[in-house]
Each structure stands twice: as C-alpha cells, then as structure tokens.
Amino acid sequence: MSTTKGLEGVVATTSGVSSIIDGVLTYHGYGIDDLADYASFEEVVYLLWNHKLPNKEELSTFNKQLASAAKVPDEVLDQMKMYPIDKVHPMAALRTAVSALALYDEDADEQDETANYQKALKLQAQLPTIVTSFSRIRQGKDPIAPKEDLSFAANFLYMLNGEIPDEVSEKAINKALVLHADHELNASTFTARVCVATLSDMYSGVTAAIGALKGPLHGGANERVMAMLSEIGQVEKAESYIKDALERKVKIMGFGHRVYKDGDPRAKHLREMSRQLTNITGETKWYDMSVKIDEIVTNEKGLLPNVDFYSASVYHSLGIEHDLFTPLFAVSRVSGWIAHILEQFENNRLIRPRAEYTGPDHQNWVPMEKR
C-alpha cells in the first residue's frame, strides 16, 4: 500500500465547482482575474451554487433571498452574550454559533433539494451577521441588523461599525470575498465533504469546515501575518527580522502554497488593494513592509506570497480587528463549502480512505497481574 503524506497530489474526487490547472484558478470555468475585477460577490455565490452566472432578474431575486435570510435567531445572539468574551477567539465563537443555528431550523435534518437550498441561503446570509454581532457584543455594543438595500460586502462593514462604507472600502471587501470564495479541495472544503458524505446535515458540514479553517496553516495564516507585521513595526526593521527568522528556520506565514509553484494568482489583486488602501489611510508602512518581506522571502527561499499575505494589510487598513480576519475568510468561503456540500449530496459516496499501519505487531496479551 503506497502512501502520500498530507495526501499531496492525491486526486480524491471529481468536482465541477472550481479548478486549479497550470496555476490558473477558475470557478465553473470563469477565470479568477475576471471575477475579481468585474463580479459582485453575490454573482459569484450564485455561480458556485447554480453553475452559471445570473441574469439581472435572477440576481435581483437572489439578493432578496439573501437579505431576507440574514437575521440570526435571537436565541443564538443571546447565547453569544454568554460566551467568555475576554477569552474566546472569534473563530471558536463562530464555530459554536453556527452549530447552534441548526437547533432553531426545523428543516436542519431535511435532505431534499429545497430544504438544502434554504439552509444554504441562511448559512451564507447569517455568517456575516454572526461575525459582526460577536465583534460588537464583546465591545459592549448592540448588534446591528443588516440593511436590505446594501450589497453583501457593504453590509458586512455596516454591521461591523454602524457606518455605510465608502466605495473604495466596499470594493475592497467585495474583491476579497470573491478571491476567497472557493479553492478546489482545500483542507476545510475536504473536511466539509467528508462530514456530509456520511449524510450528516449541512450545518454539521459547515461547522466542521470552520474548525478546519481555524488552524494557522489554513485560514488562520492572515492573522499571523498581521501579528508579524505589527511585531516588526517599521520598514527599516523588516530585513533584519525576516533574515533572522529564516536563519532560525521560523516559518514565515503567508508564503508558499502546495498547489501553486509559480505564485498564487489571487495575491496580485490583494497586493494592489493593499497599496491603494494604505495610501488612503496614510499608513503606507504596512504595504511597504509587506513588499520588503515579499522580496526577501522570494529571493532567499524562492517562496512567493499566497492569498493570506497581502490580505492582512488590506483588512487592517479597513479597520477590521486582527482576530476577525479568519472569520471574514469564513464569511466568503462558506459559499464554496456549500457548493461542494451540494455537489457531494448529488452523487454521494462515503469518503473512507485507508491508512498504512506503522505500529507494533505480533503482540501477545499480558494479564493484568503480569504487566
């Protein structure tokens, strides 16, 4: 029996949701560059779930469906107020709250197409409400209900700080959401598919995926990037900090990607957003520092930045708390998780790989008195 550590290069399933071929990322065949430049996040969600871009009427209907599903049950918000606010990470809060949503959905365990689509709408619409509500609750503020006339991206920022965002900020969040929506069979998506392949429910699949995304080797990387930038503090200190870290063989978060050998195609979009936003805020040091680190790591190690690296300074420039970076990732990626969950349900087979045994063998039972 041959094994591959981390299942690297192993093809585990077929999928029509997204592809990474020769370093090019597509959603249902549409290139990520075109989607990032021209599409609204709502269009991308519709594409992922329905396998086609919506026309004007379809998009209008879909936007209304999302808006009407965005309210989180009061019971879940009340539970969030009981969390140990000063200790819990927002990803743990999100994981717990999403699991709790199932308790207040009478169709949580229904598996027909209509019920699953309604659950998909609720999960997509309610994750940003949960994330922003938790942020406000821990500040001693009341959650803000979403506005039905705002875009998905604008609503996130509005629910977070109570102000309707400017066009640049809305565009930046929209682009980040589009870039993070799906990424083939990444760790959290694989987790979601393994979970629902048992015919567990969609809430369980998304909760499991959030648990996988929480790790610093997956969604948690962008938060670690910002922690590093904050620790460095000044552009002049970047070179000595990074070279010392490389000498000590410390992993520099936000670099390298298992499936991209010539660079993550999403990174350039976030790099440009970082440049624009840091210029607007007057804190260009975050962009300049990132570029300096990029140059050093690329030259010294041959590693290129991935989607997490420049997203850190983008989110920081938008005033988003650093430990909300990964929950924002989840707000986007739930669209892809759901697309894969729906696809798994359509042609399901229990996912049950084998493991090569490496433990001791031929052991004889030893009675208790002789051990």
**pLDDT digit string, tens, across residues 126-170:** 999 999 999 999 999 999 999 999 999 999 999 999 999 999 999
**Percentage of residues in the chain with pLDDT exceeding 70?**
99
CA separation for the pair 357, 363 (Å, rounded) = 14
Q: Within a domain: residue 253?
A: yes
The pLDDT value given to residue 219: 81
pLDDT single digits (tens) 69-97: 999 999 999 999 999 988 899 999 999 99
Give φ, ψ of 31 to 5 degrees: -65, 145
pLDDT above 80 (res 2): no
The pLDDT value given to residue 124: 98
**Spatial CA neighbour of 119 closest among 141, 97, 101, 136:** 101
Which residues are catalytic, by number? 257, 308
What is the separation of C-alpha 303 from the centre of its chain, rounded to a whole number of angstroms?
A: 22
pLDDT above 80 (res 258): no
Helix axes 202-213, 325-346, angle to 10 degrees: 140
369 and 169 Cβ atoms separated by less than 8 Å: no
**The two three-digit tokens of residue 210, written as one number:** 């959030």
The pLDDT value given to residue 264: 86
Q: Within a domain: residue 251?
A: yes
Q: Within a domain: residue 154?
A: yes
CATH number for position 158: 1.10.580.10
Boundaries of domain holding 72: 16-215+335-346
Same domain, yes or no, for 70 and 203? yes
Distances (CA, A) of 226 to 80, 233, 290, 341: 26, 10, 10, 31
Domain count, the chain: 2
Same domain, yes or no, for 230 and 306? yes
pLDDT above 70 (res 1): no
Report residue 214's pLDDT band, with 50, 70 and 90 as the boundaries: very high
Amino acid residing at 106:
E
CB-CB neighbours of 55 under 10 Å: 8
Same domain, yes or no, for 144 and 101? yes
DSSP H or E stretch at residue 177: helix 167-180
Same domain, yes or no, for 33 and 112? yes
